[in-house]
Amino acid sequence: MNERIRELAKTDFERLSEFRYRLRCFERFSEQAARNEGISALQYQLLLHLKGFPGRNWATVGELAERLQARHHATVALVSRCEALGLVRRQTNDEDRRKVEVHLLRTGNEVLSTLAQTHRAELRALERCYLALLPAISIPPQ
């Protein structure tokens, strides 16, 4: 692979910088919105991944760790904190007793729904920015 990689221009860095800035603004907004609901940003993400897990209404700790890009033991601690707040509950899987399912409770669902509504407008703004920057940040074929 001795192909020569195109040198990035100043405008490429400006566009990448703008994109990262907009992403960080969204993250900060999300962190504050979660705090306003009395939970941490990670707790919000855990609830979101539970509700949005493909194909079923629960997930294992390992699956949540993957979605959060976190270590298994850190996810166990996060689930424990959410469980203590009455947001989720653990349940042993009926078919495979080694599996522990994490389920979203009504209170967790209510907090999540409120936050999802709050995020909707901010996501639209991020989408507009992303779509405007997409042609500029697309990496051309080498």
In this predicted model, what pLDDT tens digit does every residue of 37-89 receive, in sequence order? 999 999 999 999 999 999 999 999 999 999 999 999 999 999 999 999 999 99
CATH fold label, 10-135: Arc Repressor Mutant, subunit A (1.10.10)
Q: Global pTM?
A: 0.82
Sheet holding 88-92, edge to edge: 58-60, 100-104, 88-92
Grouping H, G, I as helix, E, B as strand and the rest as coil, residue 55 is coil
CA–CA gap between residue 57 and residue 112 (Å, rounded):
14
Residue 86 corresponds to which tokens in the numbers above? Answer: 């009455």
Say what the alpha-carbon torsion angle 81, 59, 104, 92 is, to the nearest 10 degrees: -80
For residue 105, how many C-alpha atoms fall within 13 Å in the half-sphere facing its CB? 12
- Is the model's pLDDT at 2 over the cut of 60? no
pLDDT at 105: 98
